[in-house]
Structure 1
């Protein structure tokens, strides 16, 4: 049953990668989310007291490193083609010919 506003499933039938613009947009979104989490950690470091303050402070200091490494990690690898992309045909052995191998009366 299809719900209102639900998108139909899209099946990928090619081994091509995402376009460069899609890849860049995806990495930018991940970076923006990481920097938002960092901002929240800085705010919580001001609000909290005790050891939790220092945990939030360390998280806010280390998140940019990981965000930059993941954002600059490069493009995804192209998916490996599977056997579904190739036609399945039986191989002929040496000297075999299917036209001649039919039974004769």
Structure 2
């Protein structure tokens, strides 16, 4: 079945951020997310999930173990299990990105 933001399961998280579950299997999750300007995720880590964040549009700053890494459109970063991280959108524009998790990260997050 063809999947898109129009037919994927939608949810709202954080400060009016959006997510669309494009693939949701026990071993793999692919989520398209949108963060409005000047929003952020909570600092956390995953016990088992390895994640890859890929910026589709806009910019984001990923804080990984205390280091701020600027990500522009068409750039990404891999986060290993147990590594604390937090994403920020410091700009005034929306940022859209993919989050690919293996295995799926649902229920695997530890908030710091």
Q: TM-score, normalised by structure 2?
A: 0.18
Q: Which has the higher contact order (CA 8 A, sep 6+)?
A: 2
Comparing both structures, which one devotes a greater share of its residues to strand? 2
Q: Which has the larger radius of gyration?
A: 1
Comparing both structures, which one devotes a greater share of its residues to helix? 1
Q: TM-score, normalised by structure 1?
A: 0.19
